[in-house]
């Protein structure tokens, strides 16, 4: 893998209130000299805007593969150059899609075509995180080599305290650096 490819990261942003932390993550990655491409789910775009990530990453934000100007399918061309896919925040919904091979939006389609390493930063309510279905989906992903960063413990958006909080961006960056051997 070339130096350029080694430092290319795709950040997937899903529909958790922690999506605002993804903006900080992308900004920090760019400052660390990574080339960052963002893929957002429709739900994520209800919480943060494409313009935010376009400005921070300096790359077009993908929300659909139907509107790309290139002749090559977007998920294939990006998958060929990215060293790592980081989904932060990562919802229970996305974990379930990835574990079960469901490709019904740009991010889940990209994730299935990505042949490099995948790092998920879960963010959800404690009850959701501890649900046996989510736990089993995480086991399936772990068996496939997908890595988890978190979740952490603390105050959640719903007002409760517990496990399910997305890790702070600086902790996720430590994992990213380890994975791409920066």
**Would you give per-residue pLDDT tens digits along the chain (182 residues)?**
444 445 899 999 999 989 999 999 999 999 999 999 999 999 999 999 999 999 999 998 988 876 655 544 545 677 778 889 999 999 999 999 999 999 999 999 999 989 889 999 999 998 899 999 999 999 999 999 999 998 988 777 777 787 888 999 999 999 999 998 84
What domains does the chain contain, in order, with CATH numbers? Answer: 3-180 (3.40.50.1950)
Give Cα 37 distance to the centre of its chain.
Answer: 11
User: Nearest CA to 65 among 26, 111, 122, 96?
Assistant: 111
60 touches 124 (CB < 8 A): no
DSSP state of 29: H
Q: How many C-beta neighbours within 10 Å does residue 114 have?
A: 20
The residues carrying an active-site annotation are 158
């Amino acid at each position: 893998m070339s130096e350029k490819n080694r430092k290319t990261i795709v950040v997937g942003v899903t529909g958790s209130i922690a999506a605002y932390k993804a903006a900080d993550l992308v900004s920090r990655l760019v400052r660390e000299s990574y080339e960052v491409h963002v893929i957002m789910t429709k739900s994520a775009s209800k919480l943060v805007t494409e313009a935010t990530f376009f400005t921070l990453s300096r790359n077009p934000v993908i929300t659909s593969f139907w509107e790309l100007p290139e002749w090559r399918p977007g998920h294939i061309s990006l998958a060929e150059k990215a060293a790592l896919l980081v989904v932060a925040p990562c919802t229970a919904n996305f974990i379930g899609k990835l574990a079960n091979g469901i490709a019904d939006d740009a991010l889940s389609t990209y994730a299935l075509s990505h042949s490099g390493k995948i790092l998920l930063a879960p963010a959800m309510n404690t009850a959701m995180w501890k649900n046996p279905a989510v736990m089993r989906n995480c086991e399936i992903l772990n068996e496939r080599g997908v890595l988890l960063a978190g979740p952490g413990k603390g105050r959640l958006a719903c007002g409760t305290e517990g496990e399910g909080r997305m890790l702070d961006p600086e902790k996720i960056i430590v994992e990213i650096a380890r994975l791409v051997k920066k």
